[in-house]
């Protein structure tokens, strides 16, 4: 059983489009995260979210917004996509602040 | 702010060679330290961790010791295998006692092991 899953695995789209990446965890965790990994493999936190608090990395453009329909899901919406948004996006989850489990990643290519 | 610095890669070794990947950190509090591994095409997996000074984390033959005096957490393995080929990330958490909170990652070190 997949603990943290993401869809789609690959996403190719044009500049200016709006897209979403979905994340689901079946671990019963209460905290979920989104990370961005750039072409040089540098990994950076974008958001962390539990049912009480959303913490946003201040460097993330407001074109990016996380949406959580329930505790098991944290989707990432991106408006007006730009070339620089091309990256691999990883979702992760944890029980409170303990070990984070990562999804397999979504490779976003903006053309 | 807190940060993690890893040795630049890529690192290429022959099978059964000794591996060291250097990691140093800067933190104002008492961070917990982690090594994550990313195999090709996959997400990150926690490899080992240490939550306080002089702790040694170990897993799958890999070890790392939390050295507060040198602010280091170097990853070592005595005899690497081809299956160890991956990208290794050092990370810290500003949460005390092993909890993770928001992880701060190093830039990753790609390891290639040749048969």
Q: For residues A1 and B21, which has the higher predicted lDDT (pLDDT)? A: B21
Q: For residues A55 and A9, which has the higher predicted lDDT (pLDDT)? A: A9
Phi, psi (rounded to 5 degrees) for B37: -125, 140
How confident is the model over B18-51, as pLDDT tens digits? 999 999 999 887 888 999 999 988 888 999 999 8
Q: Identify which of A41, A45, A103 has the shortest CB distance to residue B102.
A: A45
Q: Can you give the pLDDT at residue A54?
A: 80
Q: Taking CA atoms, what residue in A is nearest to B37?
A: A102
Chain A positions in Cβ-Cβ contact with residue B45 (cut-off 8 Å): 102
Q: Do A43 and B45 touch (CB under 8 A)?
A: no
Closest alpha carbon to B103 in B27, B34, B7, B8: B34
Closest alpha carbon to A33 in B16, B43, B35: B43
Rg of the Cα atoms in chain A: 13
User: What is the mean pLDDT of the segment spanning B57-64?
Assistant: 97
Question: How distant is the Cα of B42 from the closest Cα of chain A, in angstroms?
Answer: 5
Whether B46 has its CB under 8 Å from any CB of chain A: the answer is yes
Whether B98 has its CB under 8 Å from any CB of chain A: the answer is yes
Adjacent-strand bridge partners of A100: none
Q: Do A100 and B98 touch (CB under 8 A)?
A: no
User: What is the mean pLDDT of the segment spanning A41-67?
Assistant: 84
Q: What is the spatial distance between Cα A92 and Cα A4, in angstroms, rounded to a whole number?
A: 7
Q: Can you give the pLDDT at residue B99?
A: 46
User: What is the mean pLDDT of the segment spanning B50-69?
Assistant: 95
How confident is the model over B62-115, as pLDDT tens digits? 999 999 999 999 999 999 999 999 999 999 887 644 445 678 899 999 999 999
User: In this complex, how many residue pairs, one in chain A and one in chain B, have their CB atoms less than 8 Å apart?
Assistant: 50
Question: How distant is the Cα of B93 from the closest Cα of chain A, in angstroms?
Answer: 10
As a whole number, the mean pLDDT across chain A is: 90
């Amino acid at each position: 059983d997949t603990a943290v899953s993401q869809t789609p695995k690959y996403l190719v789209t044009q500049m200016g489009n709006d897209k979403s990446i979905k994340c689901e965890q079946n671990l019963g965790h209460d905290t979920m995260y989104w990370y961005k990994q750039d072409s040089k493999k540098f990994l950076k936190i974008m958001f962390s979210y539990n049912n009480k608090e959303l913490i946003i990395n201040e460097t993330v453009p407001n074109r990016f917004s996380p949406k959580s329909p329930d505790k098991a899901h944290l989707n990432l919406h991106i408006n007006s996509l730009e070339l620089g948004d091309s990256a691999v996006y990883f979702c992760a989850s944890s029980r409170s602040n303990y070990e984070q489990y990562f999804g397999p990643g979504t490779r976003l290519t903006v053309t | 702010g807190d940060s993690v610095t890893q040795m630049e890669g890529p690192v290429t070794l022959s099978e059964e060679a000794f591996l060291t990947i250097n990691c140093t950190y800067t933190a104002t509090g008492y961070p917990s330290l982690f090594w994550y591994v990313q195999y090709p095409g996959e997400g990150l997996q926690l490899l080992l961790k240490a939550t306080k000074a002089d702790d040694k984390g170990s897993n799958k033959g890999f070890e790392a010791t939390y050295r507060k005096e040198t602010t280091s957490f170097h990853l070592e393995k005595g005899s690497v295998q081809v299956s160890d080929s991956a990208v290794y990330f050092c990370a810290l958490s500003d949460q005390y006692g092993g909890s993770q909170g928001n992880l701060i990652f190093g830039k990753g070190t790609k390891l290639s092991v040749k048969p």
